Amino acid sequence: MNRIWIKFYLFFAVISFFNNGLIRAQEISNYDNLTIDDYSSLTLPPLDVLFENAKNAPSYEFNEVNEMVERKKLGKEKRAWLGFFSIRGSYQYGTFTNDGSYTDVYTQPFATYNKTTQHLYSVGGGISIPLDDLFDLGARVKRQKLVVRSYQLLKEQRFEEVKKDIITYYTAAASQLNILKLRAESLVLANVEYAIVEKNFANGTTTSRELALEKERQSVTKERYESSKAELNRSLMILEVITQTPIIRK
């Protein structure tokens, strides 16, 4: 019965954690309409905050559920000695009646009626100690402690892997953010230079070749900016998923 309860507990707990994780995963920031100014004012949260928030991720909580289930089993093993003893009892309450009649050769027939209220109860106990279970009791507790410890180590190991991923994408995002700010400045300058050349072309003071060259330089600068922005957005969105931390809210 306890095994069935533990299985149901694990099943519903895992479903609940994964449902919560799916809900949180839908709350990724909107990066579609960010401007150059938005990226210029962007700052990344501290690493320790991201590490702590990553414990709210479904993968971490799933490992915690497994550890919690094994701890429940450990508690059951520590109480296993109670299985050597049994207690039983019963209680009854009722009213008993008896209807009858009596007669003989000298007595006229007459009816008799008896009514009695009774309380009946019994209490007992028993002891049954299988020697195999008795001598294996301590070993079972030790084995279950090792199982709990193995789940603890598994949780810590996987969290270390998550922390490494966070560091990888965090450093990448920081580098890409600096590059994006430089390329944003270049894009602003390229747009200004192209506007000047375009105005000169309209006034007839520059040639179409010079206009085309300036347009090409503007396009290359914009392409580099968009490429850096895409790489930065990718790193930021992965960070949000891993750490369950919103970085941009608009």
Reference 189, options 220, 161, 212, 166; nearest CA is 220
Is the confidence at residue 13, as pLDDT, over 60? no
What's the pLDDT tens digit per position in 32-51? 788 888 888 888 999 999 99
What's the pLDDT tens digit per position in 118-129? 777 788 888 888
What CA–CA distance (Å, rounded) separates 74 from 68? Answer: 10
What CA–CA distance (Å, rounded) separates 36 from 42? Answer: 10
- Decide: residue 199, CB within 10 A, 0-12 exposed, 13-18 middle, 19+ buried: exposed
What CA–CA distance (Å, rounded) separates 181 from 194? Answer: 20
Could you tell me the sign of the dihedral formed by the alpha carbons of 148, 150, 156, 158, in that order?
negative
Whether residue 206 contacts residue 241, with contact meaning beta carbons closer than 8 Å, is answered with no
What pTM value is reported for the model? 0.68
Label residue 97 left, alpha or beta by phi (over 0 means left) and psi (-120 to 50 means alpha): beta
The predicted pLDDT at position 229 comes to: 94
The half-sphere exposure of 26 on its side-chain side, counting CA atoms within 13 A, is: 5
Q: Name the pLDDT band for 88 (thresholds 50, 70, 90).
A: confident
What CA–CA distance (Å, rounded) separates 203 from 226? Answer: 32
206: which DSSP letter?
S
- Decide: residue 132, CB within 10 A, 0-12 exposed, 13-18 middle, 19+ buried: exposed
The predicted pLDDT at position 87 comes to: 85
Q: Break the chain into its structural domains and give their ranges.
A: 2-83+134-243
Is the confidence at residue 95, as pLDDT, over 80? no
Reference 58, options 104, 102, 99, 25; nearest CA is 25
The predicted pLDDT at position 159 comes to: 94
16 alpha-carbon distance from chain centroid: 8
E strand residue ranges, the chain: 85-104, 107-127
